[in-house]
Structure 1
């Protein structure tokens, strides 16, 4: 059977943990064909981002047109976009699709990956046409230019038009039972749909330093599952479960001198190719 096509518009990670490397392997793990548009080339490893090159706008636009002219793209996801012009291009050319926006503005290492012009372009052009956005707490604060509780920030972002999954909040749970949550650590994401009250989505956290690329993996899984027909809430749950399974797979790895990569291995018994 011909696979569904999912497009990633994102940057490279020379360490292979995040960005396009994470997206394409995650698309494949979900039985979809991944196409790509390179928006930035980074010199990056587990310790941080050391250099960034943003290709000329016409090169980015040419890649996007080549994909759209030739392949039946069912859904797209974005990562690091690099410039306000690229943010606007994505909004104009992909806003009619199922579109997952991972607003990559600040790296885990603290490196700034998008300036004020990029942030404004997200808010004014891309978020209103996105299907779902998947910021972490720092990215939500950066987008809105304010602080606040995670549920409040999620609601403010949803008011701009998209569904919102604000990821990564940690807290101590009262009754941990799973072996991986023996410390009592719980991860709470917030789901906010436009016009509805935000809902907490809690699950046991996996204590690990091998988590580089987690956000990319979650948003790529979400895009693939939406492309295959799952409704947003079900796709979010499945994407979160897949991401947790990959964190569990890599949690004891010893790769790199910093925060190691989330697993992108897909042996047969780890494939997620079940029909929705």
Structure 2
């Protein structure tokens, strides 16, 4: 698998959740250490590197394992990380305050283009889970409460991403995100638009999103550039512009977009939100 990643220059994706480590061992693991708050940190006895948060230690541990397998040219990206705003009684640490601290402090770190202690000159790419609470998901309560927004579009807590008047603008933003995610999904697999899909769109998409998708049809097929392919059906990259983020991780397919900042020659943003509703 690592040889394949090296050959096609694809990142190695990991799901890293310091929350689970803290939940299982709150007496031994500092809450400040997992929430990126000031703390004494920990020193790696093998490398001598100092870590002030668990996420960076988890990332470097994966780099170390990959290096021991003979690869130094594979980038590690965090395909999922997050913190639940609510949990069952035994899910210690699940709260809106801790979720806001984890995601908010993480984004501040990413905005500074920080690298890990093991790779300080290489800014990390992080995919924050999740954009929406998954209110119908089974399992512990925490599984339904990782989102920044409730399913109706209202914020669960504020980490500075809203920045909008409370006049329905949030809902318009979410409809716009719905449109782009659906457009990416439909085109990434290059499906033929049929009556069945029209019926599905009628059932699951907001009316303004359906109209936008309808405008994109030409000859029964959505029109955007096709994915570049490397090897046997390996999607590499799809370039488009939405101005929302620099990368979106959607069902294991890494789709890169050109952000508004990149188009204007400004600093790249490396934090993205993951929505599993499609």
With normalisation by structure 1, the TM-score equals: 0.31
Q: Which has the higher contact order (CA 8 A, sep 6+)?
A: 1
With normalisation by structure 2, the TM-score equals: 0.31
Query: Rg: which structure is higher?
Result: 2
